[in-house]
């Protein structure tokens, strides 16, 4: 029994020291170290490496404001501004998965295997630290940037059980109705914009327009996946609230777990006061 208590005690001492060291690594990487740009892979997508400097939502918005020519959006230019945002972001990212690593959040990294998407970043500012992003991640950046400029959005999800394909995009609501954006699959810009950025309801049911817009996509995508959409989602609700909370809790623990272990050790090892 004594040996077991001794081993347990020193196990927690070791855990305290290890968690203190790892929290220091995370703090250094996230707050002190000068960020190093991720390697940009060669790819065939539309991508402008110069836009990689847009690494926060505020920088993205400032860039689009500059492209638009003003920080005040005219009511008649709501669609124009949203189109400029989409043009910027589809050139800002190429398709890939931006994930947290051990040096970003060691607690999350160690428990990551509990969910296959646990390491996938959903905080828009953290996504913008990378040149690559999945469809959901690109959409999150687009939705949140437009929300900060006063737009209303909703998630558009897709799933085709036959081919096991999934996808994630968004629509924005203007006075004349909903307008659909797909930053990741990059449908033909000229066709989408010359048709007033149709809603997904219109695009999915108009075979000729959909096939023209997604002319570079496979048949499985343009004729099977895109028509199987779900836009029945609440307006202006962040689409990954639970995962964002999970990431923030584990990030908090990655900095403070040593403190809570220290409190536990202090409580369990302090000597009781002798009665006088």
For 140-195, strand residue ranges (E) read 152-160, 165-174, 177-181
CA 187 – CA 167 distance, rounded (Å): 13
Residue among 225, 169, 166 nearest 192 (CA): 169
HSE-CB of 245 using CA atoms within 13 angstroms:
5
For 88-136, strand residue ranges (E) read 94-95, 132-133
pLDDT of 144: 98
Least confident interval from 7-11, 108-112, 117-121, 187-191: 7-11
Predicted confidence (pLDDT) per residue in 9-64, tens digit: 688 889 999 999 999 999 999 989 877 777 777 566 789 999 999 999 999 999 99
Which residues have a Cβ under 8 Å from the Cβ of 118 and sit 6 or more positions away?
108, 111, 112, 243, 246
Predicted confidence (pLDDT) per residue in 206-229, tens digit: 999 999 999 999 999 999 999 999
Token pair belonging to 142:
């687009």
**Band of pLDDT at residue 8, cut at 50, 70 and 90:** low
Spell out the domain ranges in the chain: 40-96+134-239
pLDDT of 54: 97
The percentage of the chain sitting over the pLDDT mark of 70, rounded to a whole number, equals 93
pLDDT of 273: 63
Token pair belonging to 210:
């959909």
pLDDT of 275: 61
φ/ψ of 55, rounded to 5, equals -105, 15
CA 246 – CA 253 distance, rounded (Å): 11
CA 127 – CA 57 distance, rounded (Å): 10
For 141-158, what is the mean pLDDT?
98
Mean pLDDT computed over every residue of the chain = 92
Predicted confidence (pLDDT) per residue in 252-273, tens digit: 999 999 999 999 889 888 766 6
What's the full length of the chain, in residues?
A: 276
φ/ψ of 254, rounded to 5, equals -65, -25
Encode burial over 96-119: b for 16+ CB neighbours within 10 A, e otherwise. bebbbebebbbbbbeebeeeeebb
Helices (H) and strands (E) in the chain, counts: 11, 6
Q: CB count, 10 Å around CB of 165?
A: 16
For 68-85, what is the mean pLDDT?
97
**Band of pLDDT at residue 3, cut at 50, 70 and 90:** very low
């Amino acid at each position: 029994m004594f040996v077991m208590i001794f081993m347990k005690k020193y196990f927690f001492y070791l855990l305290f020291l290890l968690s203190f060291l790892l929290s220091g690594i995370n703090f250094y990487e996230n707050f002190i170290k000068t960020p190093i740009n991720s390697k940009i892979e060669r790819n065939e997508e539309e991508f402008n490496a110069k836009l990689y400097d847009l690494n926060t939502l505020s920088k993205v918005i400032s860039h689009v404001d500059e492209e638009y020519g003003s920080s005040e959006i005219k009511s008649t230019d709501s669609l124009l501004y949203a189109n400029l945002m989409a043009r910027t972001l589809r050139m800002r990212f190429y398709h890939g998965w931006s994930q947290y690593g051990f040096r970003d959040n060691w607690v999350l990294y160690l428990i990551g295997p509990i969910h296959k998407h646990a390491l996938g970043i959903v905080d828009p500012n953290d996504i913008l630290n990378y040149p690559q992003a999945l469809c959901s991640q690109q959409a999150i950046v687009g939705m949140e940037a437009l929300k900060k400029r006063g737009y209303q959005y909703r998630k558009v999800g897709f799933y085709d059980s036959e081919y096991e394909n999934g996808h994630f995009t968004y629509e924005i609501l203007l006075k004349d109705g909903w307008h659909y954006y797909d930053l990741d699959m990059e449908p033909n810009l000229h066709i989408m914009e010359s048709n007033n950025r149709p809603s997904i309801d219109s695009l999915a049911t108009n075979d000729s327009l959909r096939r023209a817009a997604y002319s570079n996509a496979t048949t499985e995508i343009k004729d099977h996946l895109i028509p199987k959409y779900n836009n029945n989602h609440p307006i202006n609700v962040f689409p990954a609230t639970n995962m964002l909370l999970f990431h923030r809790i584990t990030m908090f623990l990655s900095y403070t777990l040593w403190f809570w272990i220290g409190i536990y050790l202090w409580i369990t090892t302090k000597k009781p006061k002798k009665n006088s």
